[in-house]
């Protein structure tokens, strides 16, 4: 089978398309034909030797988001049958080898793709949707009528978080560049802030209960100025974890800051699939690329202006 392999960590051109042996499913695992593999910022961070790179050996195969069709099952994997379409975030943060024509996955991390959802959309969903869900409901415990500020609100995690928060009855304020504001309103934001032109912490924003921060650093520090005492900020980029300036300012203001790391969860995927099937959660695919164009796909995500998600079609 073909795979996009990384002989060395490096820039987006470091990939090679190679022929490698088909993997075999062990107990509790499924062999899937990968129909779509979603990209996330952690993919390019890992490719460059940061992110989860310390968990990989070279040559490495990247990718954690998989939508695929079951070809074979290991011992004890009975939940699905051959031919079923399934999707999930595989084995994160350990290697999952998604950028390939076939992959083995843990049965309990996957769920069925609804009939009205394409493989491309399903492959784009898992990591970003699990992150948004975990951030809003497990960590921030977002409730109806609370006000939430979501940064990078039209990106991979953001466009899902806006919809989930809105479905929960929260009032959503999002940051994005002006060209994305019509889309952000469509997703359910009540207020859109153009981060290029406006300082969100100035008088344009009433205090909020929760911030979902996909930016980090200076954006996190400024966000602490708009959160009510007793409020919570959930931060996604791990490179700022436990930053003393952020921790100190949050303590002074009585705000809880949580740096989260998303975990695979098949039961959560089932809830996400139900929302997608009912049309209550729409995943946007900005662009998809064949496996041989993996470098282009990485360059696009690394540019940090994707609307929704980017996927590979092996």
* Binding positions for ligand NAP, rule: CB under 6 A: 40-42, 128, 131, 151-152, 154-158, 175-177, 180, 195, 214-215, 236-238, 260-262, 301, 304-307
Please, which contacts does 173-181 make with residues 24 or more away whose CB atoms are closer than 8 Å?
Answer: 173/147, 173/148, 173/149, 173/200, 173/205, 173/208, 174/149, 174/150, 175/149, 175/150, 175/151, 175/200, 176/152, 177/305, 180/153, 180/154, 180/307
Minimal CB distance to ligand NAP: which residue? Answer: 155
Q: Which is nearer to ligand NAP, 220 or 307 (CB)?
A: 307
**CA separation for the pair 127, 113 (Å, rounded):** 15
Pairing verdict, β 285-290 and 309-313: parallel
Strand blocks (E) in 63-132: 65-73, 85-89, 102-106, 110-112
**CA separation for the pair 102, 104 (Å, rounded):** 7
Quote the least distance from Cβ 219 to ligand NAP, whole Å.
Answer: 6
Quote the least distance from Cβ 217 to ligand NAP, whole Å.
Answer: 10
Q: Which is nearer to ligand NAP, 157 or 187 (CB)?
A: 157
Q: Which is nearer to ligand NAP, 30 or 311 (CB)?
A: 311
Quote the least distance from Cβ 21 to ligand NAP, whole Å.
Answer: 31
**CA separation for the pair 32, 53 (Å, rounded):** 24
Quote the least distance from Cβ 174 to ligand NAP, whole Å.
Answer: 9
**CA separation for the pair 303, 101 (Å, rounded):** 26
Quote the least distance from Cβ 154 to ligand NAP, whole Å.
Answer: 4
Q: Which is nearer to ligand NAP, 25 or 158 (CB)?
A: 158
**CA separation for the pair 279, 117 (Å, rounded):** 10
Quote the least distance from Cβ 283 to ligand NAP, whole Å.
Answer: 12
Quote the least distance from Cβ 72 to ligand NAP, whole Å.
Answer: 30
Q: Which is nearer to ligand NAP, 70 or 128 (CB)?
A: 128
Q: Which is nearer to ligand NAP, 40 or 163 (CB)?
A: 40
Mention every residue, 6+ apart, whose C-beta is less than 8 A from residue 245: 221
Structure tokens at 28: 């509790």
Q: Which is nearer to ligand NAP, 102 or 259 (CB)?
A: 259
């Amino acid at each position: 089978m073909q795979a996009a392999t990384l002989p060395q960590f490096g820039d987006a051109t470091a990939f090679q398309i190679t022929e490698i042996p088909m993997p075999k499913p062990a107990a509790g695992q499924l062999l899937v034909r990968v129909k779509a593999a979603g990209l996330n910022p952690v993919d390019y961070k890992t490719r460059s030797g940061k992110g989860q790179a310390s968990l990989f050996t070279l040559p490495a195969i990247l990718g954690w988001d998989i939508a695929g069709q079951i070809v074979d099952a290991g011992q004890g994997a009975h939940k699905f049958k051959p031919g079923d379409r399934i999707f999930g975030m595989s084995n994160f943060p350990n290697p999952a080898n998604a950028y390939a024509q076939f992959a083995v996955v843990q049965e309990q991390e996957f769920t069925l793709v609804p009939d009205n959802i394409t493989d491309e959309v399903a492959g784009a969903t898992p990591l970003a949707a699990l992150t948004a869900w975990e951030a809003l409901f497990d960590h921030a415990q977002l409730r109806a009528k609370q006000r939430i500020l979501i940064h990078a609100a039209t990106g991979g995690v953001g466009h899902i978080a806006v919809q989930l928060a809105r479905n929960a009855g929260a009032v959503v304020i999002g940051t994005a560049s002006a060209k994305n504001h019509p889309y952000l309103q469509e997703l359910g934001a009540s207020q859109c802030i153009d981060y290029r032109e406006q300082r969100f912490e100035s008088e344009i924003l009433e205090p909020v209960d929760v911030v979902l921060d996909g930016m980090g650093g200076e954006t996190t520090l400024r966000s602490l100025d708009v959160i009510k005492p007793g409020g919570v900020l959930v931060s996604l980029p791990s490179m700022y974890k436990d930053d003393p300036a952020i921790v100190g300012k949050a303590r002074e203001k009585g705000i809880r800051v949580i740096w989260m790391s998303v975990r695979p969860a098949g039961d959560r995927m089932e809830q996400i699939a139900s929302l997608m099937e009912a049309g209550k959660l729409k995943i946007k695919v900005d662009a998809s690329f064949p496996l041989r164009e993996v470098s282009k796909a990485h360059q696009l995500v690394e540019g940090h202006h994707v609307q929704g998600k980017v996927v590979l079609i092996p």
